[in-house]
Amino acid sequence: MQGKTSAFDIEEYIHRIQPFHGHAAPGVIIGGFMVHLARIQIPEGALFDAICETPACLPDAVQLLTPCTAGNGWLKIINLGRFALSLYDKYHGNGFRVFLDPGKLDQWPEIKDWFFKLKSRTEQNHEHLLSQIKTAGVEICGVYPVQIKPEFLKKRDKGKIVICPSCEEAYPLKDGSICLACQGSSPYIIPEYLEGNAHEDKYIRSHESYKQT
């Protein structure tokens, strides 16, 4: 298995992580090996999509090493709480799932402590952790073939776009009679500079949940 990583330049990859992710996080580094392991199972030239089973770290590994991104819709993030990803044929759904195998971590104590949060971040030895990740490579991963359900192969489609009668902004009609923000899903509160001016009524109408707090 170790020989399979010979074409994966881990040092160059780590260099790319830092400006993209903000720092060379262990999860993104391990994710690089996971993406590589999945990719070498896929036939050369095949068009593939990706699924990440966690929003933490792994999506960035996929976006750095494949054409699949959250923005183009080729990467789906389905939060199952598992440190795993799959690459699969875009049209037929057959592919491979790679996961960090807990049963293989006993010989890699720094990785195990990090993965199971047995040590706080300040207690971890980052250099030792990074060294073990580089040495372990794909050896701490499991891989097996998968078939993606047909409903996950459908192209993302917003459907008809209409104007929300409450906030007067465009939104997908499939979300309901008013947009999701006006249904109470907005993360915003009314900023002070809007209070009392002509825009306040419209702002409040588009953020009904604010009035209820």
Find out whether 83 and 27 touch, Cβ atoms under 8 Å.
yes
The answer for residues whose C-beta is within 8 angstroms of residue 187's C-beta and 6 or more apart is none
Residue 210 has pLDDT above 50, yes or no: no
Confidence of residue 212 (pLDDT cuts 50, 70, 90): very low
Q: 69-78, 93-102, 199-208: which range is least confident on average?
A: 199-208
75-77 sheet: strands from edge to edge: 75-77, 48-52, 84-89, 94-100, 141-147
- Using one digit for the tens of pLDDT, what is the confidence trace for 33-50? 999 999 999 999 999 999
Confidence of residue 192 (pLDDT cuts 50, 70, 90): low
- Helices and strands (DSSP H and E) totals, the chain: 7, 7
Residue 133 has pLDDT above 70, yes or no: yes
What is the DSSP code (8-state) at residue 154?
S
Confidence of residue 7 (pLDDT cuts 50, 70, 90): confident
Find out whether 75 and 69 touch, Cβ atoms under 8 Å.
yes
What is the DSSP code (8-state) at residue 35?
H
Share of the chain above pLDDT 70, in %: 86
Q: Could you give the CA distance from residue 185 to residue 132 in angstroms, rounded to a whole number?
A: 43
